[in-house]
Amino acid sequence: MNSSELTLPDESGGSSLYRLRGAPVATPSPPHVFNRVALSAAHVVADPFASREPSAGPAIDWDGTIRFRRHLLDLGMGIAEAMDTAQRGGGLDWQGALELVRRSLDAAAPQERQRIFSGAGTDQLEPGDARDLDDVVRAYIEQIEAIQKLGGRIVLMASRALARVARTAADYENVYRKVLASCEHPVILHWLGDMFDPLLTGYWGAGRFEPALETALAVIGANAGKIEGIKISLLDAEKEIVMRRRLPPTVKMYTGDDFNYPELIKGDASGFSHALLGIFDPIAPAASIALAALARGDAKTFDGILAPTVPLSRLIFRAPTQFYKTGVVFLAFLNGHQSHFVMLGGAQSMRPLPYFTTLFRLADEAGLLRDPDLATARMRRFLAFYGFGD
């Protein structure tokens, strides 16, 4: 068997020979000229040799983690730092997140720092420990001030604690008004759907989209000077477009829709979305090429590059969606961005074996295995761990 083929198991318990057929996407060279803001929510590289118990907190390979951020910046991408793709709230705690923000900013050139937005939330406050809205405000401001002290810009993350203690739309409006007042520069708000985090169910004080939308728009309208944009992650293109069309002219829409991102970024006659996407971590080279083509007015190339990535993204972000990080890190392993497939808190175990074999096929078909021989060798090693051999 040559290096371009391997035997893969399937969901029925059988197996079949798979021959790689994708042409790897070339790594684009600078300058990277985009007409959309493109932020990649980047993963962290765990340290597999740390003696620390996973339950005691994150053990991070800082060199590998920062090296991956250089990869993104060198492709012209911005970085959404310390977000849920970095396992924030699912292995990465606030102190680890702050250290990650500090190291990312330190590794960036002065002009690159403007392309880094860092997540400020309330995760140092356990939702069950939040007594009232003031506790939530204090937790937000603590993180905002710490990030601003480092010279960082803010993504204002949705708060599990706020979802627990808020009772009305007015509660959200009051909390965001106080929190935004402490921000030195305009921030990106983050509306994260409960498919990503079940503890955010009922965010903005409503279980249905329409009243939640009205509250979010009220917050934006009352604080527009403090808001650079809003990221919406509901995996529903129509809902994003409805909101996008109602935003003030100065407020950007950032798509967080990892199912429908090409059409939302390309836009329509009434507008378009910028990007703050977890999928822009594993598909960064393809995204860079596509965005440059779009900026040149070459929509055909934009579509042709990104369309094959959508089936892969839909697999990575399939329900239960909160485990999408597993697929993101697996692709980083296949592509040589890290030497192992270990994640914070053991999250590498959160998907079944057929998920990984399908991911391998779809990544190949989309041209996202940058070194097919390396990816094939690593896939064989991974399958052997499951007791499967050629």
Question: Given a cut of 70, is residue 161 above it in pLDDT?
Answer: yes
Torsion of CA 247, 229, 293, 78, to 10 degrees: -170
Question: Given a cut of 60, is residue 65 above it in pLDDT?
Answer: yes
Model pLDDT, residue 56: 76
The percentage of residues in the chain with a pLDDT greater than 70, rounded to a whole number, is 99
Question: Given a cut of 90, is residue 42 above it in pLDDT?
Answer: yes
Q: Look up the domain containing 261 and give its range.
A: 31-307
pLDDT band at 81 (very low <50, low <70, confident <90, very high): very high
Question: Given a cut of 80, is residue 389 above it in pLDDT?
Answer: no
CATH number of the domain at 278, please: 3.20.20.70
Look at residue 184 and tell me if it is in a domain: yes
Look at residue 263 and tell me if it is in a domain: yes
Q: Report strand pairing: 5-9 vs 15-19.
A: antiparallel
Model pLDDT, residue 10: 82
If DSSP states are collapsed to H, E and C, what string results for the chain? CCCCEEEEECCCCCEEEEECCCCCCCCCCCCCCCCCCEEEECCCCECCCCCCCHHHCCCECHHHHHHHHHHHHHCCCEEEECCHHHCECCCECHHHHHHHHHHHHHHCCHHHHCCEEEEECCCCCCHHHCCCHHHHHHHHHHHHHHHHHCCCEEEECCCHHHHHHCCCHHHHHHHHHHHHHCCCCCEEEEEECCCCCHHHCCHHHCCCHHHHHHHHHHHHHHCHHHEEEEEEECCCHHHHHHHHCCCCCCCEEEECCCCCHHHHHHCECCECCEEEECCCCCCHHHHHHHHHHHHCCCHHHHHHHHCCHHHHHHHHCCCCHHHHHHHHHHHHHHCCCCCCCCCHHHHHHCCCHHHHHHHHHHHHHCCCCCCHHHHHHHHHHHHHHCCCCC
Question: Given a cut of 70, is residue 3 above it in pLDDT?
Answer: no
Per-residue tokens: 62: 């800082």
Structural domain total, the chain: 1
Look at residue 179 and tell me if it is in a domain: yes
pLDDT digits 0-9 by tens, 253-292: 999 999 999 999 999 999 999 999 999 999 999 999 999 9
Model pLDDT, residue 281: 98
Look at residue 318 and tell me if it is in a domain: no
pTM score, whole prediction: 0.96
Look at residue 272 and tell me if it is in a domain: yes
pLDDT digits 0-9 by tens, 168-204: 999 999 999 999 999 999 999 999 999 999 999 999 9
Model pLDDT, residue 11: 78
- pLDDT: which is higher, 186 or 57: 186
Look at residue 154 and tell me if it is in a domain: yes
Question: Given a cut of 70, is residue 2 above it in pLDDT?
Answer: no
Question: Given a cut of 60, is residue 1 above it in pLDDT?
Answer: no
pLDDT digits 0-9 by tens, 293-346: 999 999 999 999 999 999 999 999 999 999 999 999 999 999 999 999 999 999
pLDDT band at 390 (very low <50, low <70, confident <90, very high): low
Look at residue 373 and tell me if it is in a domain: no
Look at residue 352 and tell me if it is in a domain: no
Mean pLDDT taken over the chain: 96
Question: Given a cut of 80, is residue 137 above it in pLDDT?
Answer: yes
